[in-house]
Amino acid sequence: MTKAPIRVAVTGAAGQIGYALLPRIASGQMFGPDQPVILQMIEIPMEKPMAALEGVAMELDDCAFPLLQGMVVTSDPALGFRDANWALLVGSKPRGAGMERGDLIAENGPIFTGQGRAINDNAASDVRVAVVGNPCNTNALICMHSAPDVPDERFSAMTRLDQNRAQAQLAAKAGVATTEVKNTLIWGNHSATQVPDVYHATIAGRPANEVIPDAAWLEGDFLEAVQKRGAAIIKARGLSSAASAANALVNHVRDLTMATPAGQWNSVCVKSDGSYSISEGLIASFPVRSDGKGTWEIVADLTLNPFLEGKIAATVKELEGERELVKDLL
Ligand code: NAX
- Taken in order of first residue, the domains within the chain and their CATH numbers are 6-157 (3.40.50.720), 160-329 (3.90.110.10)
CB of residue 9 inside a 6 A radius of ligand 1: no
Do the beta carbons of residue 3 and residue 37 sit within 8 Å? no
CB of residue 16 inside a 6 A radius of ligand 1: yes
pLDDT of 314 = 98
User: Rounded to an integer, what distance in angstroms lies between the CA atom of residue 204 and that of residue 226?
Assistant: 21
pTM of the model: 0.98
pLDDT of 102 = 84
Whose C-alpha lies nearest to ligand 1, atom 42?
245
Residue 326 reports pLDDT greater than 70 = yes
CB of residue 75 inside a 6 A radius of ligand 1: no
For residue 96, what pLDDT band results from cuts at 50, 70 and 90? Answer: confident
E strand or H helix at 278: none
Residue 224 reports pLDDT greater than 80 = yes
193-217 average pLDDT score: 96
- In the reported structure, the alpha carbon of residue 27 is separated from the centroid of ligand 1 by a whole-number distance in angstroms of 22
CA distances 180 to 90, 170, 211, Å, are 30, 10, 12
pLDDT of 37 = 98
- In the reported structure, the alpha carbon of residue 151 is separated from the centroid of ligand 1 by a whole-number distance in angstroms of 25
Residue 1 reports pLDDT greater than 70 = no
- Ligand 1 atom nearest to CA at 19: 26
SS3 9: strand
**Angle formed by the axes of helices 16-26 and 243-257, to 10°?**
50
Do the beta carbons of residue 125 and residue 158 sit within 8 Å? no
pLDDT of 89 = 98
Residue 147 reports pLDDT greater than 70 = yes
Q: How far is CA 51 from the centre of its chain?
A: 27
- In the reported structure, the alpha carbon of residue 91 is separated from the centroid of ligand 1 by a whole-number distance in angstroms of 4
Burial class (CB in 10 A: 0-12, 13-18, 19+), 202: buried
- In the reported structure, the alpha carbon of residue 11 is separated from the centroid of ligand 1 by a whole-number distance in angstroms of 8
CB of residue 130 inside a 6 A radius of ligand 1: no
55-70 average pLDDT score: 98
- Give the tens place of pLDDT for each residue, 274-291: 999 999 999 999 999 999
